[in-house]
Every structure is written in structure tokens, then in C-alpha cells.
Amino acid sequence: MLTHIKGILDQNQLATARKLIAAGKFSDGSSSAGMAARRVKHNEELILNQTHMSDLNNLVMNSLVNHPVYRSAALPLRIAAPYYAHYTKGMSYGEHVDDPIMGQGSELYRSDISITIFLNSPDDYDGGELVIQTSFGEQQIKLPAGDAILYPSSSTHRVAEVSRGERLVAVSWVQSLVQEPEKRALLHDMNQARETLLRDKPDADETRQVNQSYINLVRMWSDI
């Protein structure tokens, strides 16, 4: 399931994020990739002092984790601190699958969902599409600044070569309460119907039935 979330960051938040990013510098992004991905990863990652990075992460992630569509679609248990990827002309990220286990030491987590938050306008660059292989074929994603895309970390995906300008995104991963993407998709669809019924028909029998079924399916399918 691909989930497009609009307006994670507004224009003022985007301007603040870019100001914080401008205070740092970019280094070779291949150093943070796994062994297989390192061969095809040609981008840069942000290096920023601890205070500015904390401010940037709080700005970006607070807006995401409090968004109701994110909470419904991801059913998050853990979310990783983002990294900030920068692509200029000639840069790309070849076809790969994200590592299944990330983090270090006691902070290990399973990557169920990958998230890309777009931090600059698609008019700022040519190419640079996030290309995801799905059961419906290849999907090319290039969203407005402030929007996010969620997709299964098990998906084969790549970032097409940038032929003009620069592409700037925040990337993170989620360990979900529900590991299987098909089950998460069903629960997200059911929750959308549930919320509509709770709003429009709070006392109806069908509302009670859908609400109870959703709650018990989350209980049945969750890992904890």
C-alpha cells in the first residue's frame, strides 16, 4: 500500500527546515547504506550540529507522528530519527530493498514502512522520482514540498537520476504494530470507514459493529 499524506509541513515549517539545513553540510551518503545498497547509492546526507539536528528532527517528525492519516496507515510502534538526503545533477539511488533490521545495540527495530518527506518543490529539479515496484506495476512518486509518501520497506525501489537542480528529502522508517502490509492496508481502510461512522452515525448498530471489529482485529494482529 502506498499512502500519500498531504501537508505534513506548511510553508513556514518548510522555510524553517531549509534554514536549519543550510547551517550544515552534506557528505557522501553511501557510508550509511548496507553492503548491497552501498554499491548503488549516489547521494549526500546532511551533517548538522546536535542542537540544530534536534530542532530539525522535532520540526519534521512532530508534524508527521501527530498526523491522523499517518497513525491510521502506519499503526506505529517505533519510528527512526530521519536522515536528510540531498541529490544534485547526476545523483541517483539504484534499485534496492531497505535493510530489514536497523539501528544499533538495544535500539534495533524492524523496518516495516519507509517514509519519504519531500522538502523542496518538484519544480526545483528534473528527474529524481521515487520509483516503487508494486503489484500494479512501477509507480513514480514526485510530490509537492511538505507532502509524504509511506510504502512497504520490503518494496523494491529506487530514486531516478536527477538531471537538473537539487532534490531534498527526509527519510525515515517505522516498525508497525502490524507487520504484514496487507493487514495494515485492510485496517487503514476499515478505520477510515469507522471514523466516518463514528462522526456521522455515532449511535448506530453498524457503527458499533465496525468499531468493535476494528479494535479486535488490531488486538489480534498486533505484535505486542
Q: Give residue for cell 530521519.
A: 82
**What is the C-alpha to C-alpha distance for residues 157 and 88, in angstroms, rounded to an integer?**
19
Place of cell 525515515: 172
CATH classification at residue 8: 2.60.120.620
| Mean pLDDT of the residues in the chain | 95
**Do both 9 and 114 map to the same domain?**
yes
Query: What is the pLDDT confidence band of residue 33, given thresholds at 50, 70 and 90?
Result: low
| 185 shares a domain with 104 | no
Q: Which domain holds residue 193?
A: 181-221
Q: Please report which helix (H) or strand (E) contains residue 3, including its range.
A: strand 3-5
29 band by pLDDT with thresholds 50, 70 and 90? confident
pLDDT for position 38: 73
Model confidence pLDDT, tens digit, residues 4-16: 999 999 999 999 9
Domain match, 121 and 211 both: no
Residues 190 and 106 in one domain: no
Q: How far apart are CA 139 and CA 25, in angstroms?
A: 31
Residues 196 and 139 in one domain: no
Whether residue 168 is found in the same domain as residue 185? no
Answer yes or no: is pLDDT of 39 > 70: yes
Domain match, 138 and 190 both? no
- Element (DSSP H or E) covering residue 73: helix 68-74
If asked whether residues 52 and 158 sit together in one domain, one would say: yes
pLDDT in tens, 171-222: 999 999 999 999 999 999 999 999 999 999 999 999 999 999 999 999 999 9
Name the pLDDT band for 1 (thresholds 50, 70, 90): confident
pTM to 2 decimal places: 0.93
Give the pLDDT confidence of 75-106 residue by residue, as tens digits: 999 999 999 999 999 999 999 999 999 988 88
DSSP string spanning 120-184?
S-GGGEEE--EEEEETTEEEEE---TT-EEEEETTS-EEEPPEEEEEEEEEEEEEEESS--HHHH
Asked whether residue 60 falls in the same domain as residue 109, the answer is yes
* One domain, residues 143 and 124: yes
Same domain? 9 vs 115: yes
pLDDT at 109 over 90: yes
3-class DSSP state for residue 36? helix
Same structural domain for residues 46 and 68?
A: yes
C-alpha distances (whole Å) from 222 to each of 41, 172, 173 are 33, 21, 18
- Count of the separate structural domains present in the chain: 2
Locus of grid cell 530489514: 100
Q: pLDDT tens-digit profile of 49-72?
A: 999 999 999 999 999 999 999 999
